[in-house]
């Protein structure tokens, strides 16, 4: 445990150094949101509601989604760099597990950001307070929190599993950008999945991305029953387990092919 | 200014780009795939929002026209000006010093440094959408319209370039500014929204301060038929405004710039 705490301290320093940059990136996260909401509000003004969403629920949906997406971890860049340039060598010598190492750093970054993220969420909700939907049912809030934590773990593991394809693939950055495009869409960050045509909805609900962003927000909005929420959380846990097993297998196979370039 | 020399530089950059691009052909397929997904997601997004209704004077069909127009502008912009996005890298690595010593305008050299041939794809992918809108017969195409459309695409590219250049010049003040990339990207994702969502003061904000409203909307409105001649004056004023802004940002930034490494 001491080793991991040392890691966290290191990461903390790095985050502090790039603070100015981080404020700018938050600006990038937040600024487009009011404009997107303006688009939806104008559309609703003409037509009332769509697929069970009204102005209030759609605004709440996007504010929460934006906050979740700001938190979704990604270590792709660092991992690929380590695999391609032979930097993995130093990891193999460290007394911590590979997944553990990155998770620890990512966790610290996220805790650090969560304070600021929370402030932004509050500011946005006040700005749209006339519309922001507040869930008062405690069970829904607890269920949402559980599924949210699991969704970060799931998103992180998928990212990790895909970034480790750099063991075998030359061009993993191209795959990365396509993955992010698909993931943001299929996890409902661009448009709520239940507004889409039926056949697309049926496909998306079978995929793991469904649980990354869309599912926790649905629980928050109270759009699923307690039973369905629990069932969903169970499915989410199974997805996590599957991706963890894939990671294990990849790591084993990957180390066999790893050539330690430049090392 | 020695125009001949600039043409020579441009020719050299072009031939270099072709050489570099043809040696990395593996990326091409991934770029096509990415372009297609992006376009489809955008269309699905607008379809979900419109759902057979109108947003102000914009129907879903008009919105498709706007999407295609936006892609055309992006294609031209990305083909010529991908270099603008790397201003922060020049500053951070200290590479800017070498550029400043060259006998051509550093601004020209940085902006045009990497031509991006793949950007042409953006326009090619948008063509079917454009043709579809034409086939529905909802837009009026005449010779004058077409010329005006091209003129406004040109103006849109110019405004986008001047604004992007001003924004990226901020990195001359703040050295570690990777996030400028994302601000820039997020902003220009918004040019595809129809203008009728902006009312009152917000309208002025997004046309004369952050120009996301005018870049792609004006050309699309030419074909939609709700266009009036004051837009020409108005957009020329905007071009002048953002041109001077980019000049000021660049000159003041350079005064502020103290070479990074070395």
SS (H, E, C) chain A: CHHHHHHHHHHHHHHHHCHHHHHHHHHHHHCHHHHHHHHHHHHHHHHCCECCECHHHHHHHHHHHHHHHHHCCCCHHHHHHHHHHCCHHHHHHCCCCHHHHHHHHHHHHHHHHHHHHHHHHHHHHHHCCCCCCCCCCHHHHHHHHHHHHHHHHHHHHHHHHHHHHHHCCCCHHHHHHHHHHHHHHHCCCCCCHHHCCHHHHHHHCCCHHHHCCHHHHHHHCCCCCHHHHHHHHHHHHHHHHHHHHHHHHHHHHHHHHCCCCCC
Q: Which of A56-70, A124-138, A145-159, A248-262 has the lowest mean pLDDT?
A: A248-262
> Around Cβ A245, how many Cβ atoms within 10 Å?
11
What pLDDT, in 10s, does the model give residues B31-90?
888 899 999 999 999 988 887 788 888 889 999 999 999 999 999 999 988 888 888 888
- Residue A242 token pair: 């599957």
Cα–Cα distance, B149 to A27 (Å, whole number): 33
Chain A hits for B49, CB-CB cut-off 8 Å, are: 39-40, 43, 191
pLDDT score of B186: 81
CB contact under 8 A, B54 and A46: yes
Nearest to A39 among B33, B187, B197 (CB): B197
Q: Read off the pLDDT of each residue in A35-60 and give the average, rounded to a whole number.
A: 83
* pLDDT tops 90 at residue B11: no
Does A32 reach chain B within 8 Å, measured CB to CB?
A: yes
- Residue A193 token pair: 């999945």
Nearest to A171 among B26, B51, B206 (CB): B26
Chain A hits for B179, CB-CB cut-off 8 Å, are: 21-25, 27-28
pLDDT score of B104: 77
Residue A214 contacts residue A187 (beta carbons within 8 Å): yes
Q: Read off the pLDDT of each residue in B2-6 and give the average, rounded to a whole number.
A: 79
Mean pLDDT, chain B, rounded, equals 85
> How far away is chain A from the Cα of B2, in angstroms, using its nearest Cα?
39
What pLDDT, in 10s, does the model give residues A194-248?
888 888 899 999 999 999 999 999 999 999 999 999 999 999 999 999 999 998 8
Cα–Cα distance, A249 to A164 (Å, whole number): 11
Cα–Cα distance, B194 to B53 (Å, whole number): 14
Residue B142 contacts residue B55 (beta carbons within 8 Å): no
* pLDDT tops 70 at residue A37: yes
CB contact under 8 A, B183 and A175: no
pLDDT score of B179: 74
Chain B hits for A178, CB-CB cut-off 8 Å, are: 30, 33-34, 37
* pLDDT tops 70 at residue B24: no
CB contact under 8 A, B179 and A50: no
Number of residues written out for chain B: 262
Which ipTM value was assigned to this complex? 0.82
Nearest to A47 among B44, B53, B180 (CB): B53
- pTM, two decimal places: 0.84
pLDDT score of A68: 84
pLDDT score of A150: 93
pLDDT score of B260: 56
pLDDT score of A131: 84
> In 3D, which of B220, B243, B259 has the Cα closest to residue B99?
B259
Mean pLDDT, chain A, rounded, equals 82
pLDDT score of A261: 56
Nearest to B182 among A25, A39, A46 (CB): A25
pLDDT score of A239: 96
CB contact under 8 A, A181 and B38: yes
Residue B35 contacts residue B122 (beta carbons within 8 Å): yes
Does A182 reach chain B within 8 Å, measured CB to CB?
A: yes
Closest residue, chain B, to A19 (C-alpha): B176
pLDDT class of A119 with cuts at 50, 70, 90: confident
């Amino acid at each position: 445990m001491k080793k991991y705490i040392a890691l966290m301290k290191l990461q903390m320093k790095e985050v502090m150094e790039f603070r100015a940059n981080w404020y700018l990136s938050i600006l990038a996260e937040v600024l487009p949101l009011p404009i997107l909401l303006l688009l939806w509000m104008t559309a609703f003004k003409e037509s009332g509601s769509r697929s069970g969403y009204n102005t209030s629920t759609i605004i709440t949906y996007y504010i929460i989604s934006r906050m979740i997406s700001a938190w979704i971890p990604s270590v792709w860049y660092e991992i690929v760099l380590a695999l391609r340039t032979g930097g993995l060598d130093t990891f193999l010598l460290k007394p911590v597990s590979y997944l553990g190492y990155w998770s620890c750093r990512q966790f610290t970054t996220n805790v650090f950001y969560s304070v600021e993220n929370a402030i932004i969420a509050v500011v946005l909700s006040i700005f749209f307070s006339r519309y922001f939907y507040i869930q008062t049912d405690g069970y829904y809030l607890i269920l949402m929190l559980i599924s949210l934590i699991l969704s970060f773990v799931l998103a992180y593991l998928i990212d990790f599993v895909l970034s480790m394809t750099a063991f075998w693939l030359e061009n993993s950055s191209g795959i990365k950008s396509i993955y992010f495009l698909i993931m943001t869409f299929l996890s409902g960050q661009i448009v709520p999945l239940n507004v889409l045509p039926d056949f697309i909805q049926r496909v998306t609900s079978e995929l793991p991305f469904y649980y990354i962003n869309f599912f926790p927000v649905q629980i928050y909005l109270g759009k699923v029953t307690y039973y369905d929420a629990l069932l969903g959380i169970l499915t989410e846990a199974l997805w996590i387990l599957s991706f963890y097993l894939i990671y294990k297998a990849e790591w084993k196979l990957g180390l066999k092919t790893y050539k330690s370039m430049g090392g | 200014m020695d125009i001949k020399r600039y043409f020579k530089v441009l020719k050299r950059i072009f031939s270099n780009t072709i050489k570099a691009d043809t040696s990395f052909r593996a990326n091409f397929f991934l770029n096509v795939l990415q372009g297609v997904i992006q376009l489809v997601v955008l269309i699905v997004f607008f379809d979900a929002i419109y759902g057979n209704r109108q947003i102000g004077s914009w129907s879903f069909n008009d919105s498709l026209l706007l999407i295609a127009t936006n892609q055309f502008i992006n294609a031209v912009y990305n083909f010529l000006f991908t270099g603008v996005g790397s201003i922060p890298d020049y500053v951070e690595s200290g590479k800017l010093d070498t550029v400043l010593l060259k006998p051509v305008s550093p601004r020209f050299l940085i902006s045009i440094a990497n031509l991006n041939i793949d950007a042409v794809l953006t326009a090619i992918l948008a063509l079917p959408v454009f043709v579809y809108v034409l086939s529905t017969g909802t837009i009026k195409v005449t010779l004058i319209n077409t010329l005006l459309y091209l003129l406004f695409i040109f103006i849109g590219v110019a405004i986008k370039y001047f604004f992007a250049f001003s924004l990226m010049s901020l990195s001359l003040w703040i050295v570690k500014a990777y996030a400028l990339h994302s601000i820039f990207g997020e902003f220009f994702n918004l040019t595809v929204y129809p203008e009728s969502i902006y009312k009152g003061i917000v309208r002025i904000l997004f046309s004369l301060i952050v120009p996301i409203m005018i870049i792609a909307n004006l050309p699309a409105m030419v074909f939609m038929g709700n266009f009036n001649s004051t837009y020409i004056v108005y957009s020329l004023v905007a071009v002048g405004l953002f041109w001077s802004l980019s000049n000021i940002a660049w000159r003041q930034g350079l005064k502020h710039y103290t070479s990074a490494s070395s």
